[in-house]
Amino acid sequence: MNNKIDISITTPRRIGQFATVALLLMLAYLPAAQAAKSHSLTVGATLNGSTWEGDNGPGKSDFESDSGGQFAVSINYRVDKFYTGLNLQGGTYEFDSDAPSLYTSEGNLTSRDDEIEHSDFDLLVGYYFWSNVSLFLDFKATHSEWDNTGYEQAFYGLGFGVSAFHPVNDKWLLFGSFGFVNGDIDDDDGSSSHGDGTSTALVGGAVYLLDKSNTLNFGIKLRNYEFDFDDGNEQEYSLNGLFFGYNHSFNFK
């Protein structure tokens, strides 16, 4: 495939808008933070060894990446029971045979022997309704770009989820979360949606406390996407794998 599909990039702008919302939320927390008993800022980095696999719809080709993974950075701010966070992760996946097909607003193309860059952006706003359990809203945007054609696809939407943790002892705790997002698909040209989809994420793992400010975390992350396009095509895929990360917290009194 030598033809390039000319698509202007709007996902970075959308991510910038989400980041602006997050900054405003953090600023809104400042008066409460000054009166709160405690508040903290946590930054982290994570390596995700995920595989991209799925199918291009009933009766069509299956696909599985031959190599790939993602690197993630995050920042979270908590004031007592309230918190907000930003998470950005991305990486490149190589497909030596069948790859995810391109279902675009201008037509459809099959894909083979391709590289795809994929990124996920999440803005979370949550509240601990119970001591170890929280509910959160998730503003999500994903972006995928096929190397052979230059085609770019975006998925964005709003969802919700639940997270929890359980201390095992002074050094270890277990954690988990589940989230669901419903949203729209577009060609990243900002014109109009040409489909809708859902995204789910299930995360489970453990945290080891090096000291009161530094932690290591590891576990498994299971992400699934189901897309229904306006022309009747369907696509489903998952990005599943193990992760390992490091967090540093700035604790304020």
For residue 158, being part of any structural domain is answered with: yes
Name which of 203, 237, 199 is nearest 51 in CA terms: 237
pLDDT of residue 107: 79
Domains held by the chain: number: 1
- Look at 70-74, 139-143, 151-155, 192-196 and tell me which has the smallest mean pLDDT: 192-196
CATH of residue 135: 2.40.128
pLDDT of residue 36: 52
For residue 177, CA distances in Å to 12, 99, 112 come to: 27, 29, 34
How do residues 3-35 score in pLDDT, each as one tens digit?
A: 433 333 445 555 555 555 555 555 555 555 445
pLDDT of residue 162: 97
How do residues 171-205 score in pLDDT, each as one tens digit?
A: 999 999 999 999 999 876 555 678 999 999 999 99
Which range marks the domain in which residue 69 is found?
A: 11-252
Residue 1 has pLDDT above 50, yes or no: no
Reduce the secondary structure of the chain to three states and give it as a string.
CCCCCCCCCCHHHHHHHHHHHHHHHHHHHHHHHHHCCCEEEEEEEEEEEEEEEEECCCCCCEEECCEECEEEEEEEEEECCEEEEEEEEEEEEEEEEEEEEEEECCEEEEEEEEEEEEEEEEEEEEECCCCCEEEEEEEEEEEEEECCCCCEEEEEEEEEEEEEEEECCCCEEEEEEEEEEEEEEECCCCCCCCEEEEEEEEEEEEEEECCCCEEEEEEEEEEEEEEEECCCCEEEEEEEEEEEEEEEEEEEC
Residue 54 or residue 2, greater confidence: 54
For residue 55, being part of any structural domain is answered with: yes
For residue 6, being part of any structural domain is answered with: no
What's the alpha-carbon Rg for the chain, to the nearest Å? Answer: 19
pLDDT of residue 106: 78
For residue 98, being part of any structural domain is answered with: yes
For residue 162, being part of any structural domain is answered with: yes
For residue 178, being part of any structural domain is answered with: yes
- Look at 33-42, 93-102, 114-123, 192-201 and tell me which has the smallest mean pLDDT: 33-42
For residue 133, being part of any structural domain is answered with: yes
- For residue 112, what are its two tokens? 């083979």
Q: What is the pTM of this model?
A: 0.84
Q: For the chain, what is the mean pLDDT?
A: 86
How do residues 196-242 score in pLDDT, each as one tens digit?
A: 999 999 999 999 999 999 999 999 999 999 999 998 999 999 999 99
Give yes or no for a contact between 136 and 160, defined as CB atoms under 8 angstroms apart. Answer: yes
Residue 228 or residue 37, greater confidence: 228
